[in-house]
Structure 1
């Protein structure tokens, strides 16, 4: 994923990906293996289906704050998704032009959690007394890119992180990782024959030693059968906490999406198919299981 333009959106996306790739070893492993096998010539040949972010539903933050960045860059807000068990809301955003990824932003319903968990979260977020995005010059891509890497609240203690982990692994992830890119997604259907179905691509991933998320099966399939998704399991990394302790915690991961043609375009020759002919959007049941790529049940199985 690399964007040549010097537009603010390109600057932001390139910076996000540079940090993400540096922290998620699987990205380099997968890209290098794809190049070695002639699937792509470079990272730039990979089509990025979407990128995802996690937020907290508290005053001045959450989706209503975060989305302002991408709405300013021409993204269009689309469908709402609700994840009852995980107490999450989410929306996806359609890109301003072909070549840019969709964006998926989720938000934890903090008010639906236990009193103790809410108190921990608010201890970190209450000092934020205004929407931080409102103070940004969104036309300055460098300023926005730096903001997305900057802590908005204090580093948590290991004890409070572990308490959050017990009730909401999502809450624990966000309180430590903040707005880091949660994942990017390779468009499998855009790859060459032999690698352009999830069955084939997952076999390739496991051959090179990648561990896949098995929640809901290795391939998560939408009700209409037209959107299929898989993902890696987040690696653990050594994280330092405010009390001087270190813990191994979940970072980010890589996702893979296969979008089939809509029924009315099923007979189009593959060379003529564009994104407009394929299944768009997301699927609640698929996404629900993809979230678990950072969950202890997947990482430590």
Structure 2
């Protein structure tokens, strides 16, 4: 239950994950006062977007123990997490839908665009036979986390891979219901929705960031894994956050400190072509997943999600305005994707 005097952000997050968890995650994240202080019976698209991100951050912290331990240490030191972006992976068959979903990134563009996000960058990930898209928020680009949505192009792989991908993903469900559709339509038309409508919609929007296709067979999983670790990851984890990213002042110092604690940090920091964006990450958390076989079910330990760190420098753009460099880098992204490459 939420109290009438709650700010909109608190009311939304509490309705999705409960009041104790909401209080914890909202105290953990460094949230712009424009978002945390909004109150009344109407929710802006930016606040709903921040609520969605807070719930998804809470979810991934429950799945990535090294990330949760790092976050707990930051909180104990009186510091907060500046949530930079979350990343998810999608499947694109090149012709038609992915099960009941629009193909690839379109499954999430239909959610993100009504919430005020715009396509901010297109990143070829050719080594992985994928394309990445960055979505930044129009109203609060530096304060509302971005989404990095990648799609895997099935038609670039072998016929055997394509057949296995169809068997795995053709039964993908669309979990957005009428309440979510109503709220997204309001956000798209007005830039806001009434609080009750937003609260009713949030669980369905959150549910879209999960695996919504059936448990894959072991043979299909192995076929996908043989050509693409990324496709195999999507087969088990779906559209859940692949990683969440903490924006820090000095990513190199953070990496060294985490290595000193014995945590599984990437060997090298990825540096963008401009030199202004630097990224590293914990290695993927091992998870146990069930697969179907002709003899029954089998459980394997495979790579799950992970926690990432990023430093972004400010620069003077072509109009003479100083900005935070919110862009991504194809080389960086492909390096970070290797965190889930084992298994």
1:139-218 → structure 2 map (5 Å cutoff): 139=183, 140-149=201-210, 151-189=211-249, 197-214=250-267, 218=268
Structure-1 separation of matches of 2:55 and 2:165: 28
1:86-97 → structure 2 map (5 Å cutoff): 86-95=128-137, 96-97=139-140
Structure-1 separation of matches of 2:274 and 2:53: 31
Deviation, 1:263, is: 5.2
Which stretch of the first structure deviates more once superposed, 135-144 or 54-63?
Answer: 135-144
1:23-38 → structure 2 map (5 Å cutoff): 23-36=63-76, 38=77
Which secondary structure state, in structure 1, belongs to the residue aligned with residue 311 of structure 2?
A: strand
Report Cα offsets for 1:204-241 as digits up to 9, x if no partner: 11122211223xxx111111111111111102111112
Superposition RMSD in Å: 2.3
Aligned residues: 270
Structure-2 separation of matches of 1:138 and 1:94: 23
Match of 2:125 in 1: 83
Match of 2:167 among 123, 129, 145: 123
Structure 1 runs (4+) greater than 3 angstroms displaced: 1-8, 130-136
Which secondary structure state, in structure 1, belongs to the residue aligned with residue 216 of structure 2?
A: coil
Deviation, 1:76, is: 1.0
Report Cα offsets for 1:45-85 as digits up to 9, x if no partner: 21011111100013233101221111110011111111111
Structure-2 separation of matches of 1:49 and 1:138: 28
Could you say if the C-alpha distance between residues 63 and 173 of structure 1 is closer, same or farther in structure 2, counting changes exceeding 3 Å?
same
Which secondary structure state, in structure 2, belongs to the residue aligned with residue 203 of structure 1?
A: helix
TM-score norm. by structure 2 comes to 0.73
Match of 1:225 in 2: 275
Deviation, 1:134, is: 8.5
Match of 1:240 in 2: 290
Q: Is residue 158–residue 247 contact of structure 1 (8 Å, CA) maintained in 2?
A: no
Q: Is residue 165–residue 220 contact of structure 2 (8 Å, CA) maintained in 1?
A: no
Q: Is residue 208–residue 239 contact of structure 2 (8 Å, CA) maintained in 1?
A: no
Which secondary structure state, in structure 2, belongs to the residue aligned with residue 282 of structure 1?
A: coil
1:289 equivalenced with 2:324 (yes/no): no
Could you say if the C-alpha distance between residues 283 and 70 of structure 1 is closer, same or farther in structure 2, counting changes exceeding 3 Å?
same
Q: Which runs of 5 or more structure 1 residues have no equivalent in the other structure?
A: 190-196, 265-273
Match of 1:267 in 2: none
1:108 equivalenced with 2:183 (yes/no): no
Structure-1 separation of matches of 2:237 and 2:107: 17
Match of 1:48 in 2: 83
Report Cα offsets for 1:151-203 as digits up to 9, x if no partner: 422110122212211110000000110011111111112xxxxxxx1221111
Deviation, 1:252, is: 0.5
Match of 1:13 in 2: 53
TM-score norm. by structure 1 comes to 0.82
